[in-house]
Amino acid sequence: MTALRIISPGGYTTIQDKGRFGFQHVGIPVSGVLDAFAFTLANFLAGNPGNTPVMEITVMGPSLEIRKEMDMALTGAQMGISVNGVPMDQWASIRVKPGDLVTIGQVRAGCRAYLAFGGGIRVPEIMGSFSTYVGGKIGGFKGRPLQKEDLLETGDSPLLTRPRAVPPSLVPVYSSEPVLRAIPGPQADYFDTGLNTLFQSEYTVTVKADRMGYRLQGEPIPIKSGMPKSIVSEPSMPGGIQIPADEQPIILLVEQTVGGYAKIATVISSDLPLVAQTTPGDTLRFESVDLATAHGLIRERQNQIKAVKEMIEAL
């Protein structure tokens, strides 16, 4: 049964889950949500298990006609959401019914919002994931971003017995000038003064910023003399900061597998959502941390999500 119709798709809206793992050795990137924190809470608010597919919405929100009674929730970037013209809260469950018109607006803070529906959006599972990999034309809805007049189905799931909301004090505030923590990269030894440059300068997000990577502009980062300008091609991790021939850094993201340039540092997993929530013109700074600190932050973030869930359930 159709659960919703796309009246307008917004800026760039794809279906994503946590990602497609286990196929990078054959050239399939992980894809998946860029802001895992907002994604996890969107599903929790809509009453879904952790890894349920949602819409990842970029910069401009979609308009939807609802055809089924269900719960939904919008987290991530601040875009504003209304049902039949009545403004509703983000980071909270919303009950909708057939005939409702849902409108999500233009981004005011952040870049990417996550819209979850109770029961999850129903799309075919491909290689263990529902995520859209647009370059490979697989996953999500027909392997592409959503378009006008697409009809989507959702799974069957009991309605929430009580509404759910994230307490305002726990809603992230997205900065347009975040400080990203990073650990020295796999080819940090290719650089000398470049490392100081990276950690002491400010970089601007250019218009070439998408799910493959964010190209930045700022103080050039030269490879130290005597080192080759490229490396034997190797796989990249999301967050890897690659320095190509023009010496301007690129933060590699989730639709990327193999690269041939040296990577000076890697943004830690816990700070990838901060990258995902910046738009062209925003400025980034980098702060060096060690591996143990990064691991501690992953654990802290997990505990935080658990605590938020418990708090919401207790409300």
Partner 1 sequence: MGKAPLVCRLAGDTGLIVEFGEGIDPVVNARVRAVAAAVKTRSPRGIIEIIPTYRSLLLIYDPLITLPEKLIRFIEQADSGLGDEDAGPFRRVDIPVCYGGEFGPDMDTVAKTAGLGIEEVIQRHSAPDYLIYMVGFTPGFPFLGGLDERLFTPRLKTPRMAVPRGSVGIANNQTGIYPITSPGGWQIIGRTPLTLFAPFRENPFLYQAGDRIRFIPISPEEYTAIKEKEDRS
Residues that bind partner 1 (CB under 8 A): 21-28, 126-127, 135-138, 183-187, 232-240, 257-258, 263, 266-269, 291, 294-295, 298-299, 302
User: Looking at beta carbons only, is 108 or 137 nearer to partner 1?
Assistant: 137
**What is the Cα Rg of the chain in Å?**
20
Shortest Cβ distance from residue 181 to partner 1 (Å)?
10
Shortest Cβ distance from residue 136 to partner 1 (Å)?
5
CA 250 – CA 243 distance, rounded (Å): 7
User: Looking at beta carbons only, is 91 or 286 nearer to partner 1?
Assistant: 286
Shortest Cβ distance from residue 21 to partner 1 (Å)?
6
Shortest Cβ distance from residue 229 to partner 1 (Å)?
14
The three-class DSSP label of residue 221 is coil
User: Looking at beta carbons only, is 24 or 176 nearer to partner 1?
Assistant: 24
User: Looking at beta carbons only, is 177 or 300 nearer to partner 1?
Assistant: 300
Q: Which segments within 40-147 are labelled E, that is strand?
A: 54-58, 63-66, 70-78, 81-83, 86-88, 93-96, 101-104, 109-117, 121-122
Residues 6+ apart with CB under 8 A from 245: 229, 261
Residues 6+ apart with CB under 8 A from 215: 206, 208, 209, 248, 249, 250
Shortest Cβ distance from residue 199 to partner 1 (Å)?
16
CA 165 – CA 148 distance, rounded (Å): 30
User: Looking at beta carbons only, is 26 or 314 nearer to partner 1?
Assistant: 26
